[in-house]
Every structure is written in structure tokens, then in C-alpha cells.
Structure 1
Amino acid sequence: MNSYPWYLQRIVLILISGTSKAYALHMAIEEGINHMWTVSAFQNHPRFLCVCDEDATMELKVKTVRYFKGLMSVHSQLIDDNGHPSLLHTEN
């Protein structure tokens, strides 16, 4: 890992949209790393962000979709509107 602050480090962003890419999302997220699906290699990347629409989740297991939606709600609770951690801010 480099010595840059976290907000200056590179992030890998994958955008997956539509039912035609649903199987690719399944292989990228739910299956192991595989040479046939190179997108699955990003499972090892420390700053990998996958953004997808509802249609792209059609091949995912229901538990997987619920898990990631749950992470999104927890993230929203921990981060305020300005992008700062809300737990670090105290009201005076």
C-alpha cells in the first residue's frame, strides 16, 4: 500500500447495468476469482467499488442483495450529508 491518504488513493469503479450484465455481476461478486471472468480479480483489490442497478442483480442470490443493501443503509447512518463520519461529530 502506498503512503497517500485514503482519499487520494486510486479506486477501481465498475459500473454494471441491465439484465444482460447480470451474470457478469454474479461471477464478479458471488463466485471465486476465475481466469474466465477477469472482473472477479477485483475481489482482491483493497478499494474496489461496484455500482449496479436493480436489473443487474437478477442473477444474485437474495441474501447477497440484502447484505449489500444493508451495508448501504449502515453507511448512510455513519456518514453525514457532508461526507464526514457522523460518529466523530458531537453536538455542543
Structure 2
Amino acid sequence: MTIRRTASWQQSMDDRILEHLRDESWATPSYMARLRGIHATEAQVRERCRVLADADLVAFLTEHQDLVELTTKGMGYLKGEVDIDLYPRPRHPRAIE
């Protein structure tokens, strides 16, 4: 059983996003907003993806931030190999824009 070391800034939606990207390699925020277990709007998913990207757990494949993929660090987190709390806290989504 994998034990993930979550950070205080993370939300439960973050894990659902990361798990989906692990299984599908890339996705759009609009698609992920419709997934079971996410329970969020497209804007909310996009905002969380920006935070996850600032934490280097996901990366945007386009400059318009419409395609998202999992990073090596994100995969390490999902495997329980990376303690996200040991890394700098990501910026607030509005500060990233």
C-alpha cells in the first residue's frame, strides 16, 4: 500500500487530478471537471492545475494551459516517494497568472 505524504496546501481534488493524469498521460481541465470524484468546475480544476504546476507535480503542454501532463515529481508523489511538504509552497493561483 502506498502512503502519500501530502502537504497542508493540497486539496483532495489534487490527488484525483494527479491520479487521472497517471492513468491517461494528459488531459484538459474541462475534461477532468466532468470526471467522477472531482466535483469541481472547469475553472476550479484549471486553478488547481496551476497550483500543481507551480509545485512541479504537473506541466502544461501548451502556452494556453489547456493540456496538462504528470511530471516525474508528480509520479514520485503518487508512488509515495516524494514528500511534497519538503518543497517550497506553491504560489496562490492569482499570483501565478
TM-score (norm 1): 0.28
* Bigger-Rg structure (1/2): 1
TM-score (norm 2): 0.27
